[in-house]
């Protein structure tokens, strides 16, 4: 089977998936892992609120381009050096931030780390797709990555908060990022030296061992001509068009209009994230009954209804239930879209295709909260949530078109090797 030829030095596909999942989880330390330290950083450098925002924006901005650039590079030299090198840069950057640096040095290091973050997030989707390309196996592999990230998003802020509480200083949470250094070494030992076997299907299994095939001709032009590529990218953005505005503005809605305490909101959002991890684990079973595009269409319907429920007047219980249901669909959406990307990527150009998708996702993360906030200048917060729900229902049509293309194409060629 093709899965047995993808590892390096006979490493099992399960080990490749584990290392890729850990890589994606560790780089979440760049955002969630430093959140509790932001007030201490503000005090250390005497920053305004706008300057504090730079710590986040300078990190997310390079990730928009590095996802695509990393994918193009990985299709030329292999994903192993790009993932391992990016993890090494990320970890060493965290080590440098343990020193007494200036604020501008902090921003410069964060910029480099953001570029590494964008490359690792996108390429780990692709490398899992190489060893588990389709169907239930793909859902199982991608769910491991989503679950690992969800656990890291829960654990890292707690660890960072404890380091600050123990009086270890504003920079102490950056020590968590040093975990990326030994993981970079492990990634070099475990991940395959090249992305995939040659695109010729007749001897693909044996070619995978050699791993000497160049990317298929056409580069970005071939990626942009891939089936349903526009629809796939729209669906990539839509997950974060929902997720990041909800993360940003649900607390304002819940405390300001529904009267929930910040502690209650934190518990509700934490439970929602835990439910997302659970449904991500269950997506493998759902993938046996529906295609990835169909699962995304269902997730969009649930997401749209959830955000509408959040805006439902003074019905506090409904707003809480809506947030929990939102988490349930997000776990399915995340896994299903990763599977969709790996299934529809052109042969020989999966890294580039995944990189393009990662770039679109990062644009969504960066822009969606700002666009939602701009909408609240002319609409109430409740009305803006309702508009978001309507946009989600409209995008279901895109999922249906992609599902039709996916059904027409049938299983990707990897399945027949």
Average pLDDT over residues 293-301: 95
Q: Do domains 2-197 and 219-416 have the same CATH topology?
A: yes
Residues 341, 56, 176: CA angle, nearest 5 degrees: 85
The CATH classification of domain 2-197, taken from the options 1.20.1260.10, 1.20.1250.20, 2.40.30.10, 1.10.600.10: 1.20.1250.20
Q: What is the pLDDT of residues 137-182, one digit of tens each?
A: 888 888 899 889 888 877 887 788 888 888 888 899 899 999 999 9
Among 168, 29, 153, smallest CA distance to 93 is for 29
| Contacts with 307 (C-beta within 8 Å, 6 or more apart), sequence order | 242, 246, 322, 326, 385, 386, 388, 389, 392
pLDDT for 199 beyond 70: no
15, burial (CB in 10 Å: exposed 0-12, middle 13-18, buried 19+):
middle
DSSP per-residue string spanning 69-122: HHHHHHHHH-HHHHHHHHHHHHHHHHHHTTS---HHHHHHHHHHHHHHHHHHHH
Q: How far apart are CA 34 and CA 83, in angstroms?
A: 22
Question: Residue 52, exposed/middle/buried by CB under 10 A (0-12, 13-18, 19+)?
Answer: middle
pLDDT tops 50 at residue 217 = no
Residue 8, pLDDT above cutoff 90: no
pLDDT beyond 60 at 414:
no
pLDDT above 60: residue 86: yes
* pLDDT value, residue 206: 34
The stretch 31-59 carries a mean pLDDT of 81
- Residue with more model confidence, 7 or 276: 276
Determine the Cα angle at 151 with ends 145 and 152, to 5°.
Answer: 90
Domain boundaries, given as residue ranges, for the chain: 2-197, 219-416
Q: How confident is the model at residue 41 (pLDDT cuts 50, 70, 90)?
A: confident
Half-sphere exposure of 366 (CA within 13 A, CB side): 19
pLDDT score of 10: 61
Q: Provide the pLDDT for residue 313.
A: 60
The CA distance from 324 to 295, in Å, is 18
The residue written with tokens 């000497």 in the block is 212
Are the C-beta atoms of 132 and 17 separated by less than 8 Å?
A: yes
> CA 12 to CA 17: how far, in whole Å?
9
Is residue 201 very low, low, confident or very high in pLDDT (cuts 50, 70, 90)? very low
Is the pLDDT score of 209 beyond 70?
no
CA–CA separation, 76 vs 86, rounded Å? 16
Q: How far apart are CA 57 and CA 365, in angstroms?
A: 11
Mean pLDDT of all residues in the chain?
Answer: 83
Q: Which are the contacts of 40, defined by CB distance < 8 A and separation ≥ 6? A: 164, 169, 170
Write down the pLDDT at residue 38: 78
Q: What is the DSSP letter of 216?
A: P
Q: What angle do CA 404, 408, 409 make, to 5 degrees?
A: 120
Label residue 340 by pLDDT band (50, 70, 90): very high
Six-digit token string for 153: 């998003």
Q: Within 10 Å of residue 412's Cβ, how many Cβ atoms? A: 18
Structure tokens at 109: 């290091």
CATH 1.20.1530.20 assigned to 219-416 = no
Band of pLDDT at residue 222, cut at 50, 70 and 90: confident
Q: How far apart are CA 10 and CA 209, in angstroms?
A: 10
Q: Which of 352, 122, 125, 337 is nearest to 224 (CA)?
A: 352
Most confident of 197-206, 227-236, 351-360: 227-236
In percent, how much of the chain has pLDDT > 90? Answer: 36
pLDDT higher for 4 or 173? 173
- With a cut of 50, say whether residue 417 has pLDDT above it: no
The H or E element spanning position 306 is helix 292-310
User: What is the percentage of the chain residues whose pLDDT exceeds 70?
Assistant: 88
- The pLDDT-based confidence of 238 (bands split at 50, 70, 90) is very high
Position 7 scores a pLDDT of 44
C-alpha angle with apex 369: 365 to 374, nearest 5 degrees?
145
Does the pLDDT value for residue 211 go beyond 50? no
Higher-confidence residue of 7 and 36: namely 36
**pLDDT at position 268, please?**
81
């Amino acid at each position: 089977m093709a899965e047995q030829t993808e590892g390096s030095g006979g490493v099992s596909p399960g080990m490749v998936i584990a290392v890729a999942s850990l890589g994606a989880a560790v780089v979440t330390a760049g955002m969630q892992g430093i959140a509790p330290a932001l007030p201490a950083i503000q005090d250390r450098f005497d920053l305004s609120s706008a300057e504090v925002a730079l710590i986040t924006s300078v990190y997310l901005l390079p990730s928009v381009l590095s996802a695509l650039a990393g994918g193009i590079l990985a299709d030329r030299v292999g994903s192993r050096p790009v993932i391992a090198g990016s993890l090494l840069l990320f970890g060493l950057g965290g080590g440098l931030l343990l020193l007494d640096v200036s604020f501008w040095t902090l921003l410069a290091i964060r910029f480099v780390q953001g570029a590494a973050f964008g490359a690792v997030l996108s390429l780990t989707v692709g490398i899992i797709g190489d060893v588990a390309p389709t169907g239930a196996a793909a859902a199982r592999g991608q769910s491991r990555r989503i679950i690992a990230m969800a656990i890291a998003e829960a654990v890292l802020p707690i660890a960072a908060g404890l380091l600050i509480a123990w009086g270890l200083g504003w920079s102490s949470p950056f020590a968590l990022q040093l975990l990326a250094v030994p993981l970079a070494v492990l990634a070099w030992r475990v991940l395959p030296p090249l992305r995939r076997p040659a695109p010729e299907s007749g001897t693909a299994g044996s070619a995978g061992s050699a791993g000497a095939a160049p990317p298929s001709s056409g580069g970005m032009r071939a990626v942009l001509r891939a089936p349903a590529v526009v629809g796939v990218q729209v669906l990539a953005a839509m997950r974060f068009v929902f997720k990041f505005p909800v993360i940003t503005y649900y607390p304002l809605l819940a405390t300001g209009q529904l009267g929930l305490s910040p502690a209650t909101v934190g518990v509700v959002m934490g439970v929602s994230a835990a439910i997302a991890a659970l449904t991500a684990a269950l997506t493998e079973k759902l993938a046996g009954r529906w295609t990835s595009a169909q699962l995304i269409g269902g997730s969009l319907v649930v997401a749209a209804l959830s955000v509408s429920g959040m805006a439902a007047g003074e019905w506090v219980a409904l707003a809480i239930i809506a947030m929990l249901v939102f988490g349930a669909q997000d776990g399915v959406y995340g896994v299903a879209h990763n599977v969709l990307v790996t299934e529809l990527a052109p042969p020989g150009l999966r890294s580039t295709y995944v990189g393009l998708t990662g770039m679109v996702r990062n644009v969504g993360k960066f822009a969606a909260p700002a666009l939602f906030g701009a909408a609240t200048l002319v609409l109430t917060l409740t009305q803006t949530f309702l508009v978001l729900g309507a946009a989600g229902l409209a995008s279901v049509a895109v999922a249906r078109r992609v599902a039709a293309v996916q059904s027409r194409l049938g299983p990707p060629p990897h399945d027949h090797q």
